[in-house]
Amino acid sequence: MNETDQIVMPSVWSPDAAALISFVLRFWFDNRRAPNTADVYHGMGFDHYTAGRLYRELQLGLAAVVADDRLQLNIIKMLPFSATPTPNKLIIDGQFITYLGCAGEAFSVSGLPMLEDTQYEVQSSCSCCYAPIRLRYFGPELQTPQEELPMVAVVGNPHMWEHGVPADRVCDDFHFVLDDAHAERFGRRISRRHVTMEALRMAALSRPIAQRRLRDPASRLWLDAQLHMDAFASLGVDISLWRPADDPAADDSASGRPPG
């Protein structure tokens, strides 16, 4: 592939798309629901065609999942929030605020300006046995003691997430589990192999996204498999399972070849 064949994606949102992310997340947090088309019209002045075009821009940059081909433009996700139920709930003072996209968003939510100086919890459960999992935060600070933190099982890989893949497809690969044994049981049940990582590594991976969302409204995410794999590897996550089978560093058992 020569240089001119490469898809060039803008590294920033258009100003209207950036403003729409900000409006939707703040409206959602204040009202505990996503805005509908009338809310977007009254709040932002965007008519139906404009809102649809902006949502499509946000979907390509992995910030949203919206039924953009429906007249109601139903918002399914505006990350980190999810309108559709997931295992992860944001709770303040015992009150449900919203679902969160996935185990990754359970950490990236901590950067939201609305949660500064606020005590809150992310409530979730083990994906194998539904044992409760709780992350306690004050603002951006995760306060749950390390020995009480869960693991994250990743059951897909960065090659499956890049370049326009819908955000809810990516979210579906990140799951909380109590520990390695529970990850193993979960993997067997869904017939998928997995990479596990400690919660603090997932938190570190989410931190750059968390710190920029809403605070640097122009910044957009661009998922590239190699960049993403490098990020996991730099945190000490064993990603040999994700390497192509002909890569010497690939996991032998993944390819069906005898080890060694």
Q: Which residues bind Zn ion (CB under 5 A)?
A: 126, 128-129, 178, 182
- Cβ 87 to Zn ion shortest distance, Å: 12
- Cβ 179 to Zn ion shortest distance, Å: 8
Nearest partner of 56 among 89, 7, 1, 16, judged by Cα: 16
In this complex, which beta carbon is closest to Zn ion, that of residue 48 or of residue 189?
Answer: 189
In this complex, which beta carbon is closest to Zn ion, that of residue 177 or of residue 205?
Answer: 177
In this complex, which beta carbon is closest to Zn ion, that of residue 52 or of residue 87?
Answer: 87
- Cβ 129 to Zn ion shortest distance, Å: 3
- Cβ 246 to Zn ion shortest distance, Å: 35
- Cβ 178 to Zn ion shortest distance, Å: 5
Nearest partner of 100 among 197, 175, 43, judged by Cα: 175
In this complex, which beta carbon is closest to Zn ion, that of residue 128 or of residue 151?
Answer: 128
In this complex, which beta carbon is closest to Zn ion, that of residue 129 or of residue 190?
Answer: 129
